């Protein structure tokens, strides 16, 4: 295990949010990417799980390891914004999982 805290990585969370929006937009406008629903669904589920893993890891760090603790030196609004970004990315990943699972079973 590494002893160094991961810290807040806002750029990675924004990138994952952008990736989930791009994935949903591609299906909205192209209706197919890889040609088969099974492959597209599997890719969607795996991508959604990957997107959800980062906010989930941040939650585990806060709850159990206090690595990415909410610092009293920072403002409450920046802490709230960071938590809101994590929730948005988690919900976006969940929507990608639902979209992929829907493709998988159709």
Assess if residue 25 is contained within a domain: yes
Residue 4 domain-assigned (yes or no): no
Q: Is the pLDDT of residue 75 over 90?
A: no
Confidence of residue 101 (pLDDT cuts 50, 70, 90): very high
Determine, yes or no, domain membership for 17.
yes
**Residue 5 placed within a domain:** no
In which domain, by residue range, is 41 found? 10-105
**Strand, helix or coil for residue 32:** coil
Mean pLDDT calculated for residue range 78-93: 90
Of 47, 52, 36, the C-alpha closest to 87 is 52
Rounded mean pLDDT, 24-28: 86
Residue 66, token pair as written in the block: 């206090």
Q: Please say if the pLDDT value at position 88 is more than 80.
A: yes
How many domains are there within the chain? Answer: 1
Does residue 88 lie within any of the structural domains? yes
CA distance 95 to 101: 10
- The stretch 35-45 carries a mean pLDDT of 89
In a domain, 58, yes or no: yes
Q: 7, 66 in Cβ contact below 8 A? A: no
**Domain contains 34:** yes
CA dist 44 to 41, 47, 55, 79, Å?
Answer: 5, 5, 18, 30
Query: Which pTM was predicted?
Result: 0.80
Is the pLDDT assigned to residue 4 strictly greater than 50? no
- Would residue 74 count as lying in a domain? yes
Residue 98 confidence (pLDDT) above 90: yes
Residue 24 CA, distance from chain mean position: 13
């Amino acid at each position: 295990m590494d002893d160094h805290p991961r810290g807040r990585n806002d750029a990675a969370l924004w990138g994952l949010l952008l990736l989930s929006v791009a994935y949903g937009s591609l299906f909205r406008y192209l209706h197919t990417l890889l040609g088969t629903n099974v492959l597209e669904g599997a890719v969607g589920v795996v991508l959604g799980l990957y997107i959800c893993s980062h906010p989930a890891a941040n939650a585990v760090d806060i709850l159990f390891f206090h690595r990415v603790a909410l610092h009293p030196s920072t403002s409450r609004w920046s802490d709230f914004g960071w938590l809101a970004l994590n929730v948005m990315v988690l919900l976006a990943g969940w929507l990608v999982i639902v979209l992929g699972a829907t493709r998988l079973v159709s």
